[in-house]
Chains A and B, each alone.
Chain A
Amino acid sequence: MKKILFALAALVACQVALAGVNIQHWVSPSGARVYFVESSALPILDVQVDFAAGSMFDPAGKSGVASLTRSILDLGAGNLDENAIADRLADIGAHLGGGADTDRASVSLRTLSAPDKREPALDILRSVLTAPRFDAAIFQREKTRTIASLKEALTRPDTIAGKAFWEAAYPAHPYGRQSEPATVAKIGRDDLLNFYRTYYNAKNATVTLVGSLSRAEAEKVVESLVGKLPKGEAPNLPADPQLPKGETRRIAHPAAQSHIYVGLPAIRRGDPDFFPLIVGNYSLGGGGFVSRLMKEVRDKRGYAYSVYSYFAPLKQPGPFQIGLQTKRSQADEALKVSRSILEGFLKEGLSPEELEAAKANLIGSFPLRLDSNKKILENVANIGFYGLPLDYLDRYQDRVRAVTAEEVRQAFARHVRTDHLVTVMVAVDKP
């Protein structure tokens, strides 16, 4: 970011410099990796603590442990019951947030930075991280609620399609194991305690802070938050996912629209092919209203309101996916069009105009990725959690700029192999 920061500083002499992201990094005495961005423009402090404790670590047959552990974490901790936590946070206008995805469990705090607000808010965060109670009665209640909401979600065509897609794309990898009412039903309170003890430790934690705080204060805050966590170990990862056999799953559902997903496991975070892939994907289906998929599927044919493609790099190769929804009578036709756009793209690659347009947007829009504390927090937490280089943001625009059409073609050929594509269609009639 330094280069950009100087360029901007020259343009706007008295900029309150949120535009430059100066990341301070250290390892806390307890072993947590810390990423700190000082920003005093607003009286706000954001803290996010990430653990490698996502659903990929769910015990076999008990999908849902990671998510349930995270959601019960802040429902009673230390000498505070769940109502006391909620009351105290509300009294000072602070919010606890976060959740669990495939890779990580996050606990985030947004608070006003005045000490009389900040200190009690941090006290609560510390209790939640280091002394969650996992009360038996609350565990039962939340388990019941989780099952109810899963049952509800699994009546929705988009949820059904999403679940089926991950199962088909990752048949033998934890990414493919999705929570169901039956797997959650098998979870006991002990599973949560074990999961918490195994994964919520200092070695496995990344702490990101953005806001109105000095470095010295930040160091103190971090140690007070994670100093009491057990040192622990970073978890072992399962073997990388294998590429699935190409297949199409058609699932019956009464909805008016078919939900269609096409894709496969593609890249991990930090893969050098990331930049060619995002440049290429911008033209294929990532670039909002201007992508090939949008033009052909939506603008020309009126098949869909939403059609897109993306790469979701994860700790282990995350998916490439094309998604759309369309009136069920034209589902097969819409799929055919999307597939042929993908195949054409893989064969021909980007035109010079497309390459230029993709770069112009990705480079030009860079300031928009960092124009609030919230966005900075998200970016820096990603850098920290996935161990990306500290100059990742500094070099982002240059790396986009350097991408060639040939690199795009090769990267797509390496990561999007059509014979391994899985296709899921929900709400279609039997062929």
Chain B
Amino acid sequence: MMRTLRLRHLLLALIAPGLIATAQANPFEATLKNGLRVIVKEDHRAPTAVQMVWYRIGSMDEVDGKSGVAHVLEHMMFKGTPSIGPGEFNKRVAAAGGRDNAFTSRDYTAYFQQVPKEKLEEMMSLEADRMRHLNVDPKEFAQEIKVVMEERRMRTDDNPQAKLFEQANAIAFEAHPYRRPIIGWMSDLEHMTAADAREWYDRWYVPNNAYLVVVGDVDHDAVFKLAEKYYGPLEGRASPPRTPPAEPPQEGIRRLVVKAPAELPILTMGYKVPVIRDVAKDVDPFALEMLAAVLDGHEAARFGKRLIREQKIAVSTGVDYDSNARGPGLFYLQGTPSEGRTVAELEAALRGEIARIQKEGVNETELKRAKAQVVAAQVYKLDSMFAQAMEIGQMESSGLSYKDIDPIIERLQQVTADQVQAVAKKYFGDDTLTVGVLDPQPLDGKPRRPAAAPRH
């Protein structure tokens, strides 16, 4: 198979010598008549394959009072169809020597199976079946919603950091549905019915609202044929229009405090920033990615070096920015102060690092260093079929294309020190800032003894 692939490349090179870079065939793409897009990336290093089906539907498409339904439906997708009984899906995947799971984000819901390659066809048949034929049985739902509530307790209610981020997010956004937690508010879960899940499924789970990604030791033509065989017969249907409320401009700093049982405080500062909408024309999202890398992208980055190691003001720091999203962007600075240092001091220090870049910019060495990480990460990603499939899927989920992966790497390489300084000046004002603080509470509910005394 490797050989055929090489020949094909060679052929292209001969026909269109100027197009080698852009005309690289792998991944391959086809669209079925029902609107399902199929993207196949051949990787012949090992005799395995991963199938992912991505639905362009996530928690941001929910409405108030029904938060969490996208994720609940994801759970229900394992509960059977007329031809596959409840729990049978997992059983079949397991029998095939496969691993499967699913994930729901703000922007998308995706399902995957990793299998020995000769089992890919069976996985495609199973996944196609539940795309249009799910049973949403009220009895199964009644059990599964309890599982989801346990999941919420585990992930959020008993996790102080997750609680802080959930609530900071709910304040940073007022109108845009990104303000709702993916897992849903507990009271919405308590009131959710099988009919809600059913309605969600009927509305959004159609081939034209999905795309299939396969990476592995496969022949793309064979995968296209299998896709036609199993997914082809499913009927497409126009999805209802989506008009998520736009986030009105933030016009002043927002602050919140969350109290939870913990030892150390956590500080999170979120600034409103843009995300990639036009790979060729945008500049700022790429500069913001580089800013994130310069601040906290690796061991040698500024936060770790200056705040943890030199000034010892923080025991941990973080930067979170995702330039690839359907909705609006946030650039988070985070950290936990060292014992004896306050949240206010840490906030001043994080602001200080931004101010330094606003004033002095970044130097060429550290920018080069940040870019070296980007290049190396692209090579390391090739060691995982799963990571490659994720990258394709996520890129597509925000309305970009897998074809943008390489151009985005190029754009990141082109970012200049001036551009990094410019975004630091442009987006890091107080008026679009949300500051959240975790105020740690003693476990036994009794007032805290002086900090110097051991508590345990």
Contacts and interface: CB of A to CB of B under 8 A. Distances in A.
B375 A93 contact: yes
Contacts of A287: 94
B263 A90 contact: no
Nearest to B6: A14
A368 B158 contact: no
Interface stretch (A233-241, A302-310, A414-422): A302-310
Contacts of B426: none
Contacts, number: 216
Contacts of A363: 97
Interface stretch (A15-23, A26-34, A335-343, A401-409): A15-23
7 contacts: A19-B46, A86-B299, A91-B369, A155-B261, A256-B157, A367-B97, A371-B47
B315 interface: yes
Interface in B105-121: 114-116, 119
Given A181-B456, A257-B150, 8 more contacts: A18-B46, A93-B379, A144-B338, A289-B87, A302-B146, A305-B150, A367-B46, A372-B385
Interface in B84-106: 86-87, 90-91, 94-100
Contact of B454 (A110, A182, A290): A182
A255 B158 CA distance: 6
Given A93-B377, A302-B143, A360-B95, A256 B90 contact: no
Interface in A274-293: 287-290
- Name, among A11, A147, A290, the residue most crowded by chain B CB atoms within 10 Å (CB to CB): A290
A68 interface: no
Interface of A: 8, 11-12, 14-16, 18-19, 41-44, 82-83, 86-87, 89-94, 110, 112, 141, 144-145, 147-149, 151-152, 154-157, 180-182, 252-257, 287-290, 295, 298-306, 325-327, 357, 360-361, 363-368, 370-374
Contact of A257 (B116, B154, B382): B154
Nearest to A306: B154
B interface bracket (residues with beta carbon within 8 Å of A): 35 or more
A181 B451 CA distance: 14
B359 interface: no
A281 to B, nearest CB: 14
B372 interface: yes
Given A86-B299, A90-B372, A302 B47 contact: no
Given A357-B91, A365-B98, A151 B299 contact: no
A224 B34 CA distance: 60
Contact of A327 (B1, B116, B153, B384): B153
B383 interface: yes
A149 B308 CA distance: 13
Contacts of B151: 305
B421 to A, nearest CB: 20
Contacts of B96: 360, 364
Nearest to A75: B309
A91 B443 contact: no
Given A257-B150, A299-B143, A364 B217 contact: no
Nearest to A185: B454
B97 A295 contact: no
